[in-house]
């Protein structure tokens, strides 16, 4: 088999796993649009904000430390403790739920019935606000997120592909685990939407608000 084809196969599988992760964010766009009719431009920034919050919480970083230090002349950075990954994830979920509720109450509640372009522009403004808020809370430095999942090259895939193609594929264990989690989440959402009473009700409201109310 030509070397170029072997490299293409390796790139294909790595790209496929990366695409599954992007599909989660895309799924968020679709869910919000189907449920509310709003194309939420800030969806990707919300995902970024959640990741920054998770890193900050796990590392025990003081929120708004950069702003506090600039205003008060202090050197506060960390609380001195580190939270386990599970506690950090739960805390981040709570923070994002509260944040989403605030966004709905403060912004979108007052835009009901407005033209789609107005709603879209509001989400663009929200995206820039969230970027600035994230920088103020956690800083703009590059951060490493480690929640305890396996990382590094998958030796079984490397050895197997080497025996077949005389070239070992570099497939990261973290990408494999992330892909499995992403596929599980998507499958769970499909099952919920298709086969549960609550899921069918949500789809009915999304397809036709007036008919769902009748």
**Region 168-182: what's the mean pLDDT?**
89
3-class SS letters over the chain: CCHHHHHHHHHHHHHHHHHHHHHHHHHHHHHHHHHHCCCCCCHHHHHHHHHHHHHHHHCCECCCHHHHHHHHCCCCCECCCCCCHHHHHHHHHHHHHHHHHHHHHHCHHHHCCCCHHHHHHHHHHHHHHHHHHHHHHHCCCCCCCCCCCCCCECHHHHHHHHHHHCCCCCCEHHHHHHHHHHHHHHHHHHHHHHHCHHHHHHHHHHHCHHHHHC
Q: Rounded to whole angstroms, how far apart are CA atoms 100 and 134?
A: 15
Question: Residue 201 pLDDT > 90, yes or no?
Answer: no
pLDDT at position 126 is 92
Average pLDDT over residues 184-191: 86
Q: Is 51 inside any structural domain?
A: yes
Rank 20-24, 109-113, 175-179, 208-212 by mean pLDDT and report only the highest: 175-179
Mean pLDDT of 156-163: 90
Rg from Cα positions in the chain: 22
Is 89 a domain residue? yes
- Residue 67: give the domain boundaries: 42-141
pLDDT digits 0-9 by tens, 81-118: 788 889 889 989 998 999 989 988 988 888 877 888 88
Residue 70, pLDDT > 70, answer yes
Task: Give how many domains the chain has, as a whole number.
Answer: 1
Quick check: is 12 in a domain?
Answer: no
- Within 13 A of 36's CA, how many CA atoms are on the CB side? 19
- pLDDT higher than 70, residue 213: no
Residues facing residue 153 across a β-bridge: 172
Distance CA 164, CA 159 (A): 9
102 part of a folded domain: yes
Which residues, 6 or more positions from 99, have their beta carbon under 8 angstroms from its beta carbon? 46, 49
The verdict on residue 23 lying in a domain is no
Calculate what percentage of the chain has a pLDDT beyond 90. 11
pLDDT (tens digit, 9 = 90+) per residue, 41-55?
A: 888 888 888 988 898
Band of residue 206 on the pLDDT scale cut at 50, 70, 90: low
User: Using an 8 Å Cβ cutoff, are 154 and 173 in contact?
Assistant: yes
pLDDT surpassing 90 at residue 124: yes
Cα–Cα distance measured from residue 27 to residue 20, given in angstroms and rounded to the nearest whole number: 10
Is residue 121 a part of any domain in this protein? yes
């Amino acid at each position: 088999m030509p070397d170029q084809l072997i490299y293409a196969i390796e790139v294909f599988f790595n790209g496929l796993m990366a695409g599954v992760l992007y599909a989660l964010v895309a799924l968020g766009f679709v869910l919000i649009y189907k449920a509310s009719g709003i194309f939420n431009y800030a969806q990707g920034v919300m995902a970024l904000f959640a990741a920054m919050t998770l890193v900050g919480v796990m590392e025990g970083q003081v929120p708004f430390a950069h702003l506090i230090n600039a205003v008060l002349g202090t050197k506060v950075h960390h609380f001195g403790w580190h939270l386990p990954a599970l506690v950090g994830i739960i805390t981040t979920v709570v923070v994002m739920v509260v944040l989403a509720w605030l966004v709905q109450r403060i912004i979108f509640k007052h835009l009901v019935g407005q033209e789609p372009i107005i709603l879209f522009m509001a989400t663009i403004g929200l995206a820039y606000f969230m970027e600035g808020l994230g920088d103020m809370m956690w800083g703009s430095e590059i951060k490493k997120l480690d929640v305890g999942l396996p990382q590094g090259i998958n030796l079984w895939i490397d050895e197997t592909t080497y025996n077949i193609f005389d070239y070992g594929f570099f497939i990261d264990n973290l990408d494999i685990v992330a892909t499995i989690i992403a596929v599980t989440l998507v499958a769970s959402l499909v099952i919920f939407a298709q086969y549960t009473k609550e899921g069918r009700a949500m789809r009915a409201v999304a397809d036709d608000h007036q008919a769902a109310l009748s």
